[in-house]
A and B are shown apart, each in its own frame.
Chain A
């Protein structure tokens, strides 16, 4: 089976603080995955490992069969939407320009955006329903609108893999629904998506192919109907340290 993302004996620590332990996981190409776990369970660290911001202390991570080094990432973009963060509201940059940043690697060094890049940026903004605000300074938008702009920037990367860290956090219900509709659309287009959430209600909104229950180690990984059972959820959210093996975790 070909995996879009594969962890083998992967462990990560920040100094002496262990964050992820002995992760063995294969995410199939084209799958729509949810990662659930309490705050501090390593969800964000796992995503940052996939985009090469964290290097493993032991074990390996491979994305489309390669370690996600900087030069590899430049050639094979991995779309990433970080958690809503406080951006510099005064930075003089428009919504359109922010999304165009997602095209930086495609455009290449010493080159300017072409018509194709501009069309992709407009299309990305249209898909998150933000085209009408393209000329607004990013700092003038609400948190939810900024989040949609950052999703558009990730879409503009035209990646085969899209990672979203708590994309629905702090958003109203219609906006959350539009994000899950977008996930469905990407799934249909063959994009591998990995979405983290600490909110189990998110799993009601959208059908994920598989759910990863994470609490510093893999508690369970499998189809929602097998994973979302009281025993596994209590282990995940109470942090009891024994793994439950299901079919898809290898």
Chain B
């Protein structure tokens, strides 16, 4: 028991634990919709693309969280608009905008003369650096997004399962699409705090993909995703503490281990590609 409680004597570990619990829940729920809509690539694209937002924030001494969030939301909206107006596939729109955005981020970072520790925290994750302000944003965003999904649950499910018929019955397809993109963007930036932008897809996709191996029921899938997301985050955090490895890496590796076990032992397992929302 003292293995569990000892780390919590430090206030930074208390904040880290609370933060990872909320992020574990948020990424698992949003991740379920990401794999159902086969949007895995957008999680990856927004995470990498948000580098430019973080670099801009760093350059102008803005709060990295807020600048990262605003940038990622704008990027998500641009991707959605390019997909709708320019008649390119969503994957192509993501490919164009995320690589451009990442190039912009690298260009800005390369002009910086000082080694930017704060920025590398976002690249590789630094859950132990979570401040009280960060925690307030994590909890606020999680509650807000879960509330939106709960209130419009049946509409988002209809949109995810059969977009055309959802539109026929009068649901606002475009609004649902953009709302989903915005929620993914916020989740990506929030989760980047723990696992870093490079590994954020791990938390977004792997817990839901693991849950997908075990059930054919949407409700159980959501519950299992949350259980696996929470387990990955909390176990990963403790492993990071005791083994002294980067928190992002230990969380992602824990999630991957759960997926491997699910893939090998779940009765009705699905193909690897579909499970990962591709």
Contacts and interface: CB of A to CB of B under 8 A. Distances in A.
Report the contact-size class of chain B (Cβ under 8 Å from the partner).
20 to 34
Nearest to A81: B165
Size category, A interface: 35 or more
B169 to A, nearest CB: 5
A88 B216 CA distance: 12
A71 interface: yes
Contact of B171 (A75, A104, A153): A104
Contacts of A53: 164, 167-168
Interface in A125-143: 137, 139-140
A73 interface: yes
Interface string B131-157: 000000000000000000001101101
A137 B216 contact: yes
A84 B269 CA distance: 26
A110 interface: yes
Contacts of B172: 70
Contacts of B164: 53, 82
B218 interface: yes
A16 interface: no
A101 B168 contact: no
Contacts of A102: 169
Contacts of B167: 52-53, 70
Interface string B148-182: 00011011011011101111111110000000000
Interface stretch (A34-42, A91-99, A193-201, A216-224): A91-99
Contacts of B215: 92
A77 B169 contact: yes
A92 B216 contact: yes
Given A78-B168, A80-B168, A110-B151, A90 B274 contact: yes
B166, B170, B274, most chain A CB atoms within 10 A: B170
B83 interface: no
Contact of B157 (A52, A88, A101): A101
Contact of A73 (B154, B169, B217, B270): B169
A101 B165 contact: yes
B153 to A, nearest CB: 9
A104 B155 contact: yes
Interface of B: 36, 151-152, 154-155, 157-158, 160-162, 164-172, 212, 215-218, 220-221, 270, 274
10 closest pairs, A vs B, by CB? A74-B170, A73-B170, A137-B216, A51-B168, A92-B218, A101-B158, A92-B216, A105-B169, A80-B168, A92-B221
5 contacts: A52-B167, A74-B170, A80-B168, A91-B36, A92-B216
